Amino acid sequence: MGRETIYNQITSPELISQVSLENIKLLKDFLTYLKSIQRSEKTIESYRSDILIFLCWNLQHNKDKFFVDITKRDIISYQNYLINENKNSPARVRRLKASLSSLSKYIENILDDEFEGFRSIINKVENPVSVPVREKTVLTDEQLDILLNTLVKREKYEVACCVALGMCSGSRKSELVRFKVDYFTDENIIYGSLYKTPEKIQTKGRGLGKFICRYVLVNKFKTYLDLWLKQREELGINSEYLFAYKDSDNNWKQRKVTTLDSWAEWIGDILEVPFYFHCLRHFFTTALSRLNIPDGVIQEIVGWESAEMVKIYKDINVDEQIGKYFDENGVKQVETGRLSDLK
């Protein structure tokens, strides 16, 4: 089972067609501006989707008011609707409001000659209290061993390879589909224990995203890589990408992230807990931390800009963390583990 997510049911093609032309034009102009400053297609689509949610709500509940004339009272009503009627999480509401804030800043800074005196009021309305709305899945070594063994038994080698890659690299699902077959050669192994991608992979970041080298633990991953590469050859898959599918024109293409989402559904059924690929990022960070690898080194391996992210992603409770440094004799010396210990 995948994690349950509440998706908005506010927009529809019919509703969008009824939104005032001045609001639609404002949105289109904003998206054009984002393209001009090289925001990624994914980022632009997210802004479009999020702002259309507001515009459809505005159509149905706020007399289709021109966005420039929106008041703090209107934003409070919208926020109340999202939280108490549409049952969105506080995090989701913050994101929806952030898109409106960006649109407002565009009007304030770029369209100031048309809308003189306009000031953004979105952030003047306090955000809802951030509370977790769904339980985080923390997977154990035993659970993942059972999962991988089950996938291998069912000859789902591509899925097993993808799960193992997530476990052994901490990569996001959007990054997993970007790995190429020729990344995994002996020439790309460093320190005897890590594959280092010979080229940088696009990842999350401002603008068009940032590009970083990814590191993959060899010992834990290679078994599932070899099984999948053998099956790929038997299937006649001819693609530079490690995970590929054949399109309607009979051409091999890079796997889509949506396919990984569908895999997550039945992976969850195997594990009998909600599964999502991002939990493997937590697993990888936690595994490195348990080897007493310093947070700064984990930061570099995973590709974060701050070591503070390590604290967020490692699933180690306070007692276990303190227990590393104390025993019946008092303070103990802690030795850093080796990546080869992850077998």
CATH code, 215: 1.10.443.10
- Looking at the structure, tell me whether residues 174 and 89 fall in a common domain: no
- Looking at the structure, tell me whether residues 269 and 145 fall in a common domain: yes
Residue whose C-alpha is closest to residue 204's, from 171, 169, 162, 242: 171
Residue 129 lies in a domain: no
- Looking at the structure, tell me whether residues 151 and 237 fall in a common domain: yes
- Looking at the structure, tell me whether residues 293 and 257 fall in a common domain: no
d(CA 198, CA 95): 35
Q: How many CB atoms lie within 10 A of CB 268?
A: 18
- Looking at the structure, tell me whether residues 38 and 85 fall in a common domain: yes
Residue 206 lies in a domain: yes
Among 41-50, 177-186, 264-273, the range with the most confident prediction by mean pLDDT is 177-186
Residues in Cβ contact with 236 at an 8 Å cutoff, skipping those fewer than 6 apart:
none
Domain count, the chain: 3
What was the pLDDT predicted at 319? 63
Range of the domain at 313: 285-341
Task: Tell me what the pLDDT averaged over the chain comes to.
Answer: 89
- With 0-12 / 13-18 / 19 or more C-beta atoms within 10 angstroms meaning exposed / middle / buried, residue 308 is exposed
- Looking at the structure, tell me whether residues 150 and 266 fall in a common domain: yes
Query: Does residue 10 carry a pLDDT above 70?
Result: yes
Among 226, 249, 277, give the residue marking a domain's end.
Answer: 277
Angstrom distances, CA of residue 120 to CA of 24, 55, 57, 59, 64 = 19, 17, 19, 20, 19
And the tokens for 120? 């953004």
- pTM comes to 0.66
Residue 131 lies in a domain: no
φ/ψ of 237, rounded to 5, equals -75, 125
Strands (E), 181-265: 189-190, 194-196, 201-203, 210-212, 215-217, 244-246, 252-254
Query: Does residue 331 carry a pLDDT above 80?
Result: no
Among 231, 260, 277, give the residue marking a domain's end.
Answer: 277
Residue 60 lies in a domain: yes
- Looking at the structure, tell me whether residues 298 and 319 fall in a common domain: yes
